[in-house]
Structure 1
Amino acid sequence: MATNAEHYLGDLEAASKIIPAAKPYVMMNLMKFKASAQCPVTYKGPRAESSTGREAYIAYKNGFVRRAAELGVDLSIVFLGEAHTQLVAGPQEGENYDLVLLVRFPSFAAFRSVLEDKEYVNEIQPHRVSALEEIRSFAVTELADF
Structure 2
Amino acid sequence: MTTNAEHYLGNLEAASKTIPAEKPYVMMNMMKFKPKAQYPASYTGPKLKSSTGREAYVAYKDGFVRRATELGVDLSIVFLGEAHTQLVAGSQEGESYDVVLLVRFPSFAAFRSVLEDKEYVDEIQPHRVSALQEIRSFAVTEMTDS
- State whether TM-score is above 0.5: yes
What residue number does 2:4 align with? 4
Deviation at 1:12, TM superposition (A): 0.1
- Give the Cα separation in 2 of the matches to 1:119 and 1:62: 14
Q: Are positions 1:32 and 2:45 aligned together? A: no
- Give the Cα separation in 1 of the matches to 2:101 and 2:74: 17
What residue number does 2:18 align with? 18
What residue number does 1:79 align with? 79
What residue number does 1:92 align with? 93
- Give the Cα separation in 2 of the matches to 1:89 and 1:134: 17
Q: Is the 8 A contact 1:32 1:135 kept in 2?
A: yes
- Give the Cα separation in 1 of the matches to 2:106 and 2:47: 32
Deviation at 1:47, TM superposition (A): 1.2
- Give the Cα separation in 2 of the matches to 1:129 and 1:88: 28
The runs of at least 4 consecutive aligned structure 1 residues that moved more than 6 Å come to: none
- Give the Cα separation in 2 of the matches to 1:62 and 1:97: 20
Structure 1 unpaired stretches of 5+ = none
Structure 2 unpaired stretches of 5+ = none
- Give the Cα separation in 2 of the matches to 1:28 and 1:49: 29
- Give the Cα separation in 2 of the matches to 1:100 and 1:118: 27
Deviation at 1:121, TM superposition (A): 0.1
- Give the Cα separation in 1 of the matches to 2:80 and 2:93: 22
Residues 1-146 of structure 1 aligned to structure 2 (within 5 Å): 1-89=1-89, 92-93=93-94, 95-145=95-145
Deviation at 1:49, TM superposition (A): 3.8
> RMSD over aligned Cα, in angstroms?
1.2
Same amino acid, percent of matched pairs: 81
How many correspondences in the alignment? 145
- Give the Cα separation in 1 of the matches to 2:50 and 2:93: 30
- Give the Cα separation in 2 of the matches to 1:45 and 1:129: 13
- Give the Cα separation in 1 of the matches to 2:89 and 2:47: 38
- Give the Cα separation in 2 of the matches to 1:132 and 1:89: 22
Q: TM-score if structure 1 supplies the norm length?
A: 0.96
